[in-house]
């Protein structure tokens, strides 16, 4: 038996013996929205299902990669935040890489992304990914025409290799209309809490709307494959986009309806005469509220 398989078996056995979780049945991702629902309540319901999904991924040893791409201000960061909000960062992490270093520019293009791929029992969410080459790098001239064409040729092969190695690869494109994007840019300009999100590259993208649209269409034409399809999310309404994306994600992976067992708290250790230090000897944060 593979040592990793043996470890997974031990982990599942440990979870059952310790009574941390018990299986009720198959997970129940929502088929459709309730006739009447409140955003916060529905989000909480979906986040509970995400917890079950994460624990199933951990115990079954799955490797999951979810890619989030789309226009600037399309709401990718918002849905990633809602997905990870209640999950354990030990098993679900976000990868958002910055500008490549000089050394990384001399590597195989996919190399710096490969080191962030998940191990068994992990979920990795890419906030933008290797598809930078098909979008911003191509439109802004940060890569050569030959590098761009090679990406379009090799990307489907790279992703097929990931899937055949056992990785679950899920790709989302967040689509936003030009009118809504313009509205969100204006809001960021007026809101000091959001103004930091606007970069010179974002401003430049407004002037190259058609170029980015063309690049996106070419990218989909080359990389939307049966084995590694793209899923398009209508992101004009941020709240609906978040719920729709999470509900769809829950249907991409089979998971168990794992629920935490009731645990009786043990009695607190009795006082054995130990005296704690005076509060006046410690640096307490001043009450301001």
pLDDT tens digit sequence for 53-92: 999 999 999 999 999 999 888 999 999 999 999 999 999 9
pLDDT tens digit sequence for 24-42: 677 766 666 666 778 999 9
**pTM of model > 0.95:** no
What integer pLDDT is reported at residue 12 of this predicted model? 53
Q: What percent of the chain has pLDDT over 90?
A: 65
pLDDT tens digit sequence for 174-225: 999 988 988 887 888 888 777 777 777 777 777 788 999 999 999 999 999 9
What integer pLDDT is reported at residue 144 of this predicted model? 97
Residue 258: HSE in the Cβ half-sphere, 13 Å Cα cutoff = 20
What integer pLDDT is reported at residue 17 of this predicted model? 42
DSSP-assigned states of every residue in 166-233: TEEEEEEEEE--HHHHHHHHHHHHH-TTTGGG--HHHHHHHHTHHHHHHHHHHHHHHH--SSS-EEEE
Nearest to 135 by CA among 234, 68, 198: 68
Under the banding of pLDDT at 50, 70 and 90, the label for residue 18 is very low
Contacts of 37 (CB under 8 A, 6+ apart): none
What integer pLDDT is reported at residue 20 of this predicted model? 59
For domain 63-253, give its CATH number from 3.40.50.300, 1.10.3720.10, 2.40.40.20, 3.40.50.80: 3.40.50.300
Residue 267: HSE in the Cβ half-sphere, 13 Å Cα cutoff = 3
pLDDT over threshold 70, residue 2: no
Residue 208 vs residue 249, higher pLDDT: 249
């Amino acid at each position: 038996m593979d040592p990793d398989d043996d470890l997974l078996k031990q982990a599942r056995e440990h979870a059952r013996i310790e009574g941390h979780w018990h299986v009720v049945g198959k997970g129940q991702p929502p088929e459709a929205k309730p006739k009447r629902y409140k955003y916060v309540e529905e989000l909480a319901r979906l986040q509970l299902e995400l917890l079950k999904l994460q624990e199933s991924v951990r115990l079954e040893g799955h490797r999951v990669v979810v890619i989030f791409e789309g226009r600037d201000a399309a709401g990718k960061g918002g849905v990633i935040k809602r997905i990870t909000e209640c999950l354990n960062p030990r098993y679900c992490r976000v990868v958002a890489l910055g500008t490549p270093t000089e050394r990384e520019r001399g590597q195989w293009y996919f190399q710096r992304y490969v080191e962030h791929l998940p191990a068994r029992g992990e979920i990795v969410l890419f906030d933008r990914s290797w598809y930078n080459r098909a979008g911003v790098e191509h439109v802004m001239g940060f890569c050569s025409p030959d590098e761009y064409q090679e990406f379009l040729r090799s990307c489907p092969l790279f992703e097929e290799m990931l899937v055949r190695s056992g990785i679950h690869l899920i790709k989302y494109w967040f689509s936003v209309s030009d009118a809504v994007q313009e509205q969100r840019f204006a809001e960021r300009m007026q809101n000091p809490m959001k103004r930091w999100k606007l970069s010179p590259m974002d401003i430049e993208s407004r002037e190259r709307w058609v170029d980015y649209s063309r690049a996106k269409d070419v990218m989909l034409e080359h990389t939307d494959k049966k084995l590694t399809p793209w899923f398009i999310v209508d992101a004009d309404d941020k709240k609906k986009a978040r719920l729709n994306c999470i509900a769809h994600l829950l249907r991409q992976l089979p998971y168990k309806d794992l629920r935490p067992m009731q645990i009786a708290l043990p009695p607190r250790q009795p006082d054995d005469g130990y005296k704690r230090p005076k509060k006046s000897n410690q640096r307490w944060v001043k009450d301001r509220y």
